[in-house]
Amino acid sequence: MKRKFLMALFFSLVIGVLAACGGSDDDTADDGDATESDDKEVLTVATDNGYVPFEFIDEESGDLVGFDIDLITALADEAGYEIEFETLEFDGIVAGIGSGRFDIGIAGMTITEERKEEIDFTQPYYEAGLILAVKDGTDDIESIDDVDGKTVATRTGSTSQQYLEDETDADIEAFPAIIEAYQNVLAGRADAVLYDLPNVQYYSEKDADGEIVTVGDKLTGEDYGIAFPKGSEHRDEFDEALTTIKDNGTFDDIYEEWFGERPEGN
Ligand code: GLN
């Protein structure tokens, strides 16, 4: 009985939604402002749930916010799509785009040769790089050359984890959420953290009161790209939209809002 009731409820909801869509057909489209949600294809966007300042949950409002969120919203608008966000850990985003579970992935994701085998990327939209950081007052780690035999925290499935594996003999501790890596350093359970420079800087200034400090030079140049399943027709559409908003100043406005300055040479 209960099931039948739920089915009936479900179908009446579906019919309700269909009727609502039918009712709002824009054959009298004379009003430029009323185009909001009419008949646009909805694409699912997989994003990270804790990667400041690119995508994270604003504590006060509970909303998903960040540079990537504003960027993909502007791009979808430009390309003529509606988007729906799904947040998950970084590792799952790479896999979920590779398998075609999501239409788009945006998560400060570095374009790498390895990922390009599974995923298509747009042109780069942000230049990052990896940086080592320690708890303020640590004096035995001054650069990446000092981490062999030390415990270095990072995030599962990230380019930093790959770097530590390939280039060092550190004891790597990888966590699903990067915040756990920082917390372990603050609590003295890990000696250092390796991660993307903009994230480390933002976390250090805004969330850790400067108690996490960077050491040494930026390690690798990394470009972020927006990810699509291999062969997706949407890649070119969003890539073109990206070129358009880089040319018309929208990109620079969004960038300035999150990074406090306009980007160099777009
Ligand atoms: N840029 C890093 C990578 O692509 C980390 C991104 C993230 O944690 N969201 O692996």
pLDDT means per 10 residues, the chain with 266 residues, are 47 46 41 58 96 95 97 98 96 94 98 96 97 97 98 98 98 97 97 98 92 95 97 98 98 97 82
Among 49, 130, 159, say which to mutate for ligand 1: greatest number of ligand atoms within 8 Å of CB: 159
* pLDDT score for 238: 98
Q: Report the topology of domain 128-223.
A: D-Maltodextrin-Binding Protein; domain 2 (3.40.190)
Please tell me the distance between residue 159's alpha carbon and the centre of ligand 1 in angstroms. 6
Q: Domain residue spans in the chain?
A: 42-125+225-259, 128-223
Contact between 158 and 176 (Cβ < 8 Å): no
Please tell me the distance between residue 248's alpha carbon and the centre of ligand 1 in angstroms. 28
Contact between 141 and 134 (Cβ < 8 Å): yes
* pLDDT score for 65: 98
Please report the atom of ligand 1 found closest to the CA of residue 159.
10
* pLDDT score for 9: 46
Tell me whether domains 42-125+225-259 and 128-223 share a fold: yes
Instruction: List all residues whose CB is within 6 A of at least one atom of ligand 1.
Output: 48, 51, 90, 107-110, 155, 158-159, 178, 196
* pLDDT score for 264: 85
Q: Is 129 exposed, middle or buried (0-12, 13-18, 19+ CB in 10 A)?
A: middle
* pLDDT score for 36: 54
The answer to whether domain 42-125+225-259 has CATH 3.40.190.10 is yes
CA dist., res. 84 & res. 220, Å (int) = 32
Q: How many CB atoms lie within 10 A of CB 72?
A: 26
Q: How many CB atoms lie within 10 A of CB 167?
A: 13
